[in-house]
Structure 1
Amino acid sequence: MTVSLPVAARVDLRRQPVEGVLERVEEALHARLDRQTLVRKRRSLGARTERNTWVRIERRGFERIGPQGWNGTEAAAVLQGVAMPEWYQGVAWREPGQPVMWRADELELITSPSVAEGALVLEEPGLSDAWWAALNVSLNALADQQTPRIATPDTVTITQEHVTRTLGEVFPDIADTRLERWVPAHADLTWANVMGPEFSIIDWEDWGMAPQGLDAATLWGNALAVPAVAQRVRRERRADLESRDGKLMALFFLSKIVGPHAYEHDPLLVPGKKETERLLAELQL
C-alpha cells in the first residue's frame, strides 16, 4: 500500500520573514551569520559567518524527502577527488505542526563566485583551460565513487520509470528509453552551482546515482544560449554526451524546454528545438 505524505504549503523564502530561522541556526551552530551577505532563494538561504565559513539553510516538505533522507551535503563529505567545499557540521529540525523539515550546513567558504547568477549562462564566461580540466577531473572522480544514494534532480527521485514517462510524454517516437549505466551525479549541475575562476561545485543536497550523462546534459543544456560554451561542454564531456544514455539525458533535460510548458521567450527554446531534432535523429540510427 502506498502512503501519501502530507504536502507542505508553498513558501517563498525570498518574501517570508526568516530572522527566527537565522537565529535558530546561529544558536545551534554557535556561529554568527552576517546579514549583509544573506542570499535568499525560493527554498534556501545562505550567509557568511564571522569565522569565514558559509552556512546554507534549506526548507523542504516531507513529500520531497525520500527514504534516503536529505542529508546530501553531509553525505558528499566522503567524496574523493572532487573540487567542492569542505563540510564542517549540520543541524536539522522539523517545523512545528507542519510537514516540513529545515536543514542548515556549515561549509568551507568558497571565494570564487558562481559562473552565472542563475542556472543558465547567457554570455561567454571566459573560463580558462585549467577550469575545464578541473571540471573533467571532478566529474570523472565523481563517477568512480560508490553510493547507495539515488539522485533527486529538482527534488524528484530519478528512476527508469520517471525517465521513461517524461520522455514518452514529450517525445513519443523514442521506442527504447532503457538506461544502461548509472553513476554518481551531482544532479543539479547548473552554471549557478559551478564556481570560477577557481573551479569548484557547490550545493550537493540532491546528489546520488543517476544515468550516465545527467550532469553533462544539465551543464550543456543550460549553455545552449551561448553556442560556443555549449560546444565546449560537448567537447569536454564527449564520452558522456555521445553515449546513448547521455543522449537520453540530453532529451530528458530538453523535455522541460521544448515540451508542453515551453516558454516562447526562453533563450533556450530555439537552440533546444534544433538540438532535439538532432538527438532524435541520432537515436533512430
Structure 2
Amino acid sequence: MTLPVPCAVDLRRESLDGVLDRVERSLQVRLDRETLVRKRRTVGARTDRRTWVRIERRGFDRIGAQGWNGPESAAVLSGVVMPWWYAGFAWREPGEPVMWRADEMELVSAAPVGQAALVIEDPRLPDAWWYALNTSLDALAAQSAPRVATPDTETITQELVTATLGKVFPGVADTTVEEWRPAHADLTWANVTGPEFCMIDWEDWGMAPRGLDAATLWGHSLAVPDLAERVWSERRPDLESRSGRLMALFFCAKVAGPHAHPEDPRLKPARREAARLIVELHASG
C-alpha cells in the first residue's frame, strides 16, 4: 500500500503559534519563544522548567510500522552521553497525512559543534571529547534495539544500501552488509555538542549497518582533512570493517551522486575517498 504524501512544509517559514500553544497545554510548560530554534521540519525551545522541548512534523510516508517514538525509546540506553528524556506526546494534523510529536528533555548547556551537518573549519575538540564519543558509540553498539534506523527519515535496509551504491558506484558487485548494530543514525556535527560531548536528536536511532555513525561523522568532516582523518583514526575498527567501508561509500554516494552540488566542499574529497574505498572493498573480497 502506498501512503499519501503530505504537502511540503518548511517550519522556518510557517506560523506555529497554534502548535506551540498546544505543546504548552499538553506538557504544562511555558515555552520561551525568544529561544525558538527553527529548522525545516523541527523546532525547539527552552521552557520555564529549564528543560528543552523539541517538536517535529513528519508525514505518514516517513513513519514506519515501528512507530515514531525514537527519543522515548532511546531513554533506556545505558552508557551513552545523551539528554535525559522526560515526557512526550504526538497528534495528527487535521486533514493531512501528517503527525506532530513533541518531546521534553534535559536542557543541554553546550552548543552543537556545527551549525549545520558539516563543518568547514576544525572545531579543535579536546581529547576528552573524543574519549566520550568513543565510549558512547561503543556502549550503544553493545546494546540491542527494537527499531530499525531511519537516516534522513528513510528506513535503512539491505535493499536501500544496494540500490544507492548500485546507482552511483555500479562497479561494487558485493554490497552485502554483514554486521548490524544499534546506531544514532544522524550523527552529524549539528547533533553532537562541544567542547562538552553529548549526542542529541535521537528520533532516527535503531539497528543499522556497523559503521553508519562513524561514516556519517567522517563524511561530514571531509571538507576538513585533518578532522576527517581524526574521525577515521578514532573509529578505525568500525570504518575498516567491510560493513564500515560500505557505509563510508554509502555516504560518498549521497554527496557525489545524481544530486551532487558542484560547490559542496565535500564533493571532491568524497569522490577521491570513494575511489579508495572501492579498491579496498575489491581487495577484501
Same fold (TM over 0.5): yes
Q: Which amino acid aligns with 2:231?
A: V
CA distance in 2, matches of 1:192, 1:214: 16
Alignment of 1:81-120 (within 5 A): 81-120=79-118
User: Could you list the runs of 5+ residues in structure 1 that have no partner in the other structure?
Assistant: none
4+ runs deviating over 3 angstroms: none
CA RMSD, aligned part only?
0.5
2:220 to 210, 219, 222: 222
Find the partner of 2:66 among 65, 68, 83.
68
Residue 240 (structure 1) aligns with: 238
Cα shift at 1:58: 0.2
Aligned to 2:281: 283
- Cα deviation, 1:219-270, whole Å, max 9, x if unaligned, reads 0000000011100000000001011100000010110111111111000011
User: Which residue number corresponds to residue 51 of structure 1?
Assistant: 49
Separation in 2, partners of 1:240, 1:147: 18
User: In structure 2, the residue corresponding to 1:47 is in which secondary structure?
Assistant: strand
Letter in 1 for 2:142: D
CA distance in 2, matches of 1:139, 1:16: 36
- Identify the match of residue 155 of structure 1 among 136, 140, 153: 153
Shift of 1:4: 1.0
State the distance in 2 between where 1:282 and 1:206 align.
30
Please name the residue that 1:146 is paired with. Answer: 144
Residue in structure 2 matching 1:267, options 256, 265, 268: 265
Shift of 1:141: 0.2
Q: Does 1:33 align with 2:6?
A: no
Counterpart CA distance in 1 for 2:211 and 2:266 is: 19
Q: CA deviation at 1:51?
A: 1.1
Deviations 1:156-178 (A, max 9, x none): 00000110011001100001000
How far apart, in 2, do the equivalents of 1:251 and 1:69 lie?
Answer: 29
Distance 1:245 1:191 in 2: 22
What is the CA distance between 1:283 and its match in structure 2?
1.0
- Give the superposition deviation at 1:121: 1.2
Identity of aligned residues (%): 68
Q: Would you say 1:179 and 2:177 are equivalent positions?
A: yes
Partner of 2:121: 123
How many aligned positions are there?
283
1:10 alignment partner AA: A
2:276 aligned partner, one-letter code? R
Taking structure 2 as the reference length, what is the TM-score of the superposition? Answer: 0.99
User: What SS class does the counterpart of residue 101 from structure 1 fall into?
Assistant: strand
SS at match of 1:191: coil
Which amino acid letter does the alignment assign opposite residue 72 of structure 2?
E
Matched residue of 1:10: which SS? coil
Aligned partner of 1:204: which letter?
W
How far residue 147 of structure 1 moved from its aligned partner, in angstroms, is: 1.4
Aligned equivalent of 2:77, options 79, 87, 96: 79
Once the 2 structures are TM-superposed, how far is the Cα of residue 146 of structure 1 from its aligned partner? Answer: 0.7
Distance 2:275 2:122 in 1: 25
**Partner Cα separation in structure 2 for residue 106 and residue 76 of structure 1:** 13
